[in-house]
Amino acid sequence: MRNPEAAEHVGLPAARVSPFLMPFRGHWINGIDYGIGDPILLIMGLGGSVEMWEPLLGCLPGRRIIAFDAPGTGRSSLPMIAVTVPELADLAAAVLVHRHVDTADVLGFSYGGAVAQQMANQHPRQVRKLILAATTCGVGTQPAADPAVSAALASPWRYYSTDYFEQTAATVYGGQVGRDAAVRKRLSRSRSIHPPHPYGYFLQLAGGADWSSLQFLAEIDQPTMVLVGDEDPLVPVAAARQVADGIPDSDVVVLEGSGHLLLLDEPERSGAAIGAFLNRSPQ
């Protein structure tokens, strides 16, 4: 188990971030609580840590932002066995309870989008609005990503080697990070601050290997925005539309020229889309 002490979150605006540590079913869960306003829970993608949210934090004004590291990632403890997507959904709900939040908007990014879908189904009273960014329905996704691109996710090496990340970003992630060397360098640094434990990364892959939301998408009744870039090699626009088509109250927002890391390499643009959705009055 990693050292369960509240840590300095390098790269985040320390004066405005409240770190927290909470127990959950034998794990120590590291997280942050940032800003004031209506709460929004951010759920990171495969292997990511809370430090990676730094570009987006300032692009969601008037929001209290809560985020956490999944077991085996960031500064959370290392599990012995895989933590499944339904268990991660329980963890996300427990994080809100720990922060004394009854209901929050929930944003799930990539693998975190699977957790967010599951949370909306398992803990519907805790989810006000749902944002699913660069994510799919899991098993049964049509069309699937290029197998060669998906295979790159089998290893966490891109978290450990900044050179490898910069060399593969265009192929794996596309969009702005693929076009702009300065953006690649900035994101490669944030990814390497607290990389996932190799075994923790493997367990996270295993925990989501057979997950699918196809059987319950129609039961998600929260207003939902599905956000996707049209240059995302991992999540084709048609795959994002498949998720939206299954959720009764949902819209698809396609950002032209954006890739898989649209929340992190184009935070102002994606933050504006998210803000417009969250601030929209009910129909």
Which residues have a Cβ under 8 Å from the Cβ of 148 and sit 6 or more positions away?
none
CA 146/CA 168 separation, integer angstroms: 15
149 torsion bin: left (phi>0), alpha (psi -120 to 50), beta (else): alpha
H or E segment and range at residue 129 = strand 127-133
Q: Helices 85-98 and 198-208, interaxial angle, to 10°?
A: 110
H or E segment and range at residue 208 = helix 198-208
Of 60, 144, 51, 64, which Cα lies nearest the Cα of 102?
64
Of 46, 17, 45, 16, which Cα lies nearest the Cα of 32?
17
Q: Which among 76, 77, 110, 258 is annotated as catalytic?
A: 110
CA 105/CA 66 separation, integer angstroms: 10
Instruction: Establish how many alpha carbons lie within 13 A of residue 145's alpha carbon, considering only the half-sphere containing its beta carbon.
Output: 26
Residue with tokens 């390497």: 192
User: Does residue 49 carry a catalytic annotation?
Assistant: no
Q: Helices 198-208 and 111-122, interaxial angle, to 10°?
A: 50
Which residues have a Cβ under 8 Å from the Cβ of 245 and sit 6 or more positions away?
none
Active-site amino acid positions: 110
